[in-house]
Amino acid sequence: MSPTPPLPLAGFTVVELTDNASAPFAGELLAQLGAEVWKVERPGGDASRRWGFERWRGACSSYHVLNRGKRALCLDVKNPDELAQLHRLIDEKADVFIHNLRPGTAGKYQLDAETLRSRKPALVYCEVGAFGHKGPLREEPGYDPLMQAFSGIMSLTGDGDRPPSRAGVSIIDLGTGTWAALGIITALLRRNIQGTGATVSCSLLETALTWMALSLGTAAAGGQQGERFGSGISFIAPSRAYMAADGYLMLSCANDALFVKLCEGLGHPEWSSDPRFENNTVRLQHRAELDALLEACLVQHPRDHWQRRLQAGGVPSAPVQTVEEVLANEQVKALGILGKSSDEEFDAVGFPLSFDGQRPPPLKPAGTLGQDNGLLREQ
C-alpha cells in the first residue's frame, strides 16, 4: 500500500480565539486540510459546549462537531500573564490567527491586525464578524437566525400563509466558516508568491447576502418581490415536495425536457402537451392546477415506486428523508463522509472534498477545556 500523501495544509499552524459556530468551523476545515490548529477558549469554555442536551466527554455534541482535530487551550485574555502566553504563541508559531471577538475587543488586548501584523508581516489574520467591518451596524453582535431574518432569507422561507421560517440548519454560521477558510487559503497562496500576509474579513451578513444573490439580483433588475413557496421555488414549476403514499418526494424539473420525461414516468404524457403546462412560463401561471394533478397522482404509490420509474426515465427525484434515514442511506455510506478516528467516538461529517480520490481522514475528537495548556509551558 502506498503511503498517504500529506494533506495540503500540513506544516501550517493556526491559532484561533473563537466562540460559537462560524469561526470554529473555519478552524476545523483548516484542520481537516492538515493544519495544526490551536483552539483558545475563555474560562468557562466555548458557548457551544452547552448547546443542547446530548453530552459526550463533558460537552454537548455541537462543540465536538465544530472543534475536532484541534489542540485545546484555556486562556483568560484579561489576565496579563495568560494574554502574554497567547501573544507568544501567535508570534512563535502562527501562520494564521482567527478570531470572532466583538469589534473593538481585539484592539483592547493588542490582538488587532495592525498590532500583530506589524510584529509578524507574514501573518494571515482573519476576523469573523456579524454585520461586517464597515457601516453603521459594524459594532453590533449577531447570530445565524438574526442574519437569516435581516438578509431576507426568512422572508422567502416557509409557506406563504404561515409566518416566516428559518432554515432548519445553521446555513449562515457554517457558510461563513467556509468563506473564512477559503479567504485564509487564498491569503496563504498569495503569501507563498509575495511573501506577505493579509487581513481577511468576513461576516455573517455578507454570507447571508451571498445566499440571497438570485433573489436580490431579481429584485434589483425590476423583478417581483419574493414570495414563500414552502418546499418549492419561485421560478421553476414543478419544483417542490409532493406527498406519496408513504412520505414526501421532492421533484424539480429545471427545464421543459425534464417535465416531458416526468409526465411520461407518471403515466400521463398528455400533461406535457396541455397548453397550461407546455413550458415553464405557463406552468408558473398555472402552478396550483399542476400541483393538484401531481399530488393526486403521486399519493397512489410509495416513494420507491415513483423513484424507480422516474430514474428509469432520467428524471431526478429525492425522498424527503429524516436524519435517521440519512444516516442509514446506502449512498451516504458509500461516500465515506461519515466517520470517526476511533471506536470510542460518534460518527461525524468529514471534509466534503477528496484529493486524488482520497478524502482527508477523520479528525481526532475535540479536547476537554484546557487539556493542552501544558504544551504552552513547554515552549
Q: Which residues participate in catalysis according to the annotation?
A: 173
User: What are the phi and psi torsion angles at 151 (to 5°)?
Assistant: -80, -10
Neighbours of 175 (CB within 10 A): 21
16 within 8 A of 24, measured Cβ to Cβ: yes
Cell of 325: 434515514
180/360 Cα distance (integer angstroms): 19
223/237 Cα distance (integer angstroms): 18
Burial (Cβ within 10 Å: 0-12, 13-18, ≥19) of residue 282 = middle
Q: Which residues, listed in sequence order, are joined to residue 171 by a DSSP beta bridge?
A: none
Measured in residues, the chain has a length of: 379
252/31 Cα distance (integer angstroms): 36
9 within 8 A of 15, measured Cβ to Cβ: no
